[in-house]
Amino acid sequence: MRKPIIGGNWKMNRGTPNETIEMLESLVPQVEGIDTVDIVIATPFTALTKAYEIIKDTNIKLGAQNMYFEDKGAFTGEISPQFLKEIGVEYVILGHSERRDIFKESDTLINKKLKKALSISLKPIVCIGEHLEEREAGKTMHKIEYQINETFKDLSKEEMRKIIIAYEPIWAIGTGKTATPEQAEEIHIFIRNLLSQKFDKETADSIRIQYGGSIKPINAEDLFNKKNIDGGLVGGASLQSDSLFQIILAADKSIK
């Protein structure tokens, strides 16, 4: 039985101290007592400390949207994973398509970051997914297989079991176009089968695979009802506590 996980990725859309206080002070009482779903909020770096003050004794965990793979040094503009740990960050999103496409992060770089996160017990949420042109050209599976091979290169089964995968078709991110539950489930099954071949069935069955791409309260339940979809990574709908709460409730309902 895999526990669903809902991650709210605020991107660079929210994160002033007032916005952080407003959103999280509203969310904390809404989700109080929910222990069937892991809840993670990934704020911009500048809001992490404020967010931690509000959520530290609650069932909401803190996530970062990125990190570098070195602890210290001359890396202007980068963020040390150790700094993140020290301020209460538990999860880190790695390889988001915006990092890959806009900031040209390669699978090799993401693999290095992933190994670093694992080595200091930050829980990685690793994003993979295809562009619209790749889907239309029938290359979705090929892309996913490539990303899995490269991003998860040289990891042990034990390491793999600590990772959360977010399948995010890039054409569905921030576009309002959600993959149908059937389209998403097809890829989730494909990912699980690949993990089973690459590692083993027990490992593949234990790994949580989130769906991401325009999840809203209206479509969340149908997605989460699919057997291989273990919650979601949510962008736009995570900016307001009411919509994120509805999505968390949908995940809670999917296991009952």
Active-site annotation, residues:
96, 168
3 to 32: interface string for ligand PEP, x by CB under 6 A: ------x-x---------------------
Residues whose CB falls within 8 Å of the CB of residue 117, separated by 6 or more in sequence, listed in order: 67, 81, 92, 94, 123, 124
Residue among 48 and 173 whose Cβ is closer to ligand PEP:
173
48 within 8 A of 81, measured Cβ to Cβ? no
Residues 41, 64: Cα–Cα separation, whole Å: 8
**Does 212 engage in binding with ligand PEP (CB under 6 A)?**
yes
Angle of helix 181-198 versus helix 217-224 axis, rounded to 10 = 40
Residue among 67 and 215 whose Cβ is closer to ligand PEP:
215
Residue with tokens 């500048």: 46
CA dihedral sign of residues 253, 185, 130, 219: negative
Q: To the nearest whole angstrom, how small is the minimum distance from the Cβ of residue 67 to ligand PEP?
A: 16
Residue with tokens 């793979």: 69
Q: Which stretch binds ligand PEP (CB under 6 A): 33-41, 50-58, 137-145, 230-238?
A: 230-238
226 within 8 A of 199, measured Cβ to Cβ? no
**Does 64 engage in binding with ligand PEP (CB under 6 A)?**
no
Q: Which stretch binds ligand PEP (CB under 6 A): 68-76, 114-122, 132-140, 235-243?
A: 235-243
Residues 48, 62: Cα–Cα separation, whole Å: 7
Residue among 60 and 127 whose Cβ is closer to ligand PEP:
127
Please count the residues of this chain forming the interface with ligand PEP, following the rule CB under 6 A: 14
**Does 43 engage in binding with ligand PEP (CB under 6 A)?**
no
Q: To the nearest whole angstrom, how small is the minimum distance from the Cβ of residue 242 to ligand PEP?
A: 15
Residue among 148 and 234 whose Cβ is closer to ligand PEP:
234
Q: Which stretch binds ligand PEP (CB under 6 A): 68-76, 186-194, 199-207, 212-220?
A: 212-220
Q: To the nearest whole angstrom, how small is the minimum distance from the Cβ of residue 175 to ligand PEP?
A: 7
In sequence order, the β-bridge partners of residue 125 are: 93, 164
142 to 181: interface string for ligand PEP, x by CB under 6 A: --------------------------x----xx-------
**Does 230 engage in binding with ligand PEP (CB under 6 A)?**
no
Region of 30 on the Ramachandran plot (φ > 0 left; ψ -120 to 50 alpha; else beta): alpha
**Does 213 engage in binding with ligand PEP (CB under 6 A)?**
yes
What does each C-alpha distance from 11 to 47, 70, 174 come to in angstroms?
A: 11, 22, 11
Residues 141, 188: Cα–Cα separation, whole Å: 11
Residues that bind ligand PEP (CB under 6 A): 9, 11, 168, 173-174, 212-215, 233-237
